[in-house]
Amino acid sequence: MLRVAALVWLAAAVLQSAHAEETALYQAYWAGLPAGEIRLTLMEDPAAYRGEIQIRTEGLAHLLSRFRGSAVSEGRLAAELLPAPTRYDAAYDLRKAHDRRLSMEFAPHAGGGLVAERGPADTSKKPPLAEPFRTNVLDPLSTLAAIRHELRRGNRGSFTIPVYDGARRFDVRVRILPKREGDGALHLALTLAPIAGFKGETSEDGDPDTAPRPVALTISDDRRLMPLSMSVSLGYLPLVVELSRWCAAGAACPW
């Protein structure tokens, strides 16, 4: 009976998420000060996913970095496997770097699986990591799709996601914390574990970039499974991202 109930729950979750698209706006704070705004759109159906994010800084963070950027990720979903990304494209500006592009295409690998290759629009100057570090990995936005996919499947334990962001290879270790009675959210403890491409790899002392970094992530415990908040240390100071408002389906979502 428990197995039948689990199958019924999974089928209902798939039906509810079919062609579902959710958009939300978030406010970021760094050291307690407003640091930027984020617009996140996630779409899933039973076989595919698409994620889009737009970021713009404000306040001190804007004065220091002049950062603004956007990214799009697309891929396929399979019942019991990690998502299979097909492409990842990001565009961003910094104070001393304008019109930068990060483009990855995921091609079949000779030994099976997929390998991340740079697309023709990529402007990266740093050499890509060796192929083994780019094989069977997810891009950063696909990582969120993988977390939501595991939650929809009913996983309330732990799992690890291999990630490559075009320059660095790291693991995202995910642990779903026990839910408190009456809480309408899921609380996840994430650890970003560096693998390759980080500064200080040859140093005996290392530096903050080479240390595992904890991240606290809260996700709505409903059919949307949308992020509600996130906190992480950035430059020894806390970066907190909080949901500002939901956007109506199919409607414009201005900042």
Per-residue pLDDT of the chain (255 residues; tens, 9 = 90+): 444 444 333 334 433 444 579 999 999 999 999 999 999 999 998 899 999 999 999 998 899 899 999 999 999 998 878 999 999 999 999 988 899 999 999 999 888 899 999 999 999 988 999 999 999 999 999 999 999 999 999 999 999 999 999 999 999 999 999 998 889 999 999 999 999 998 754 433 345 567 899 999 999 999 999 999 999 998 889 999 999 999 987 777 888
Judge whether 176 lies within some domain. yes
Query: Is 62:54 a contact under the CB 8 Å cutoff?
Result: no
Judge whether 4 lies within some domain. no
Q: pTM above the 0.95 mark?
A: no
Total domain count for the chain?
A: 1
Judge whether 253 lies within some domain. no
d(CA 50, CA 65): 28
Tell me the β-bridge partners of 162: 171
Judge whether 252 lies within some domain. no
Query: Is 67:94 a contact under the CB 8 Å cutoff?
Result: yes
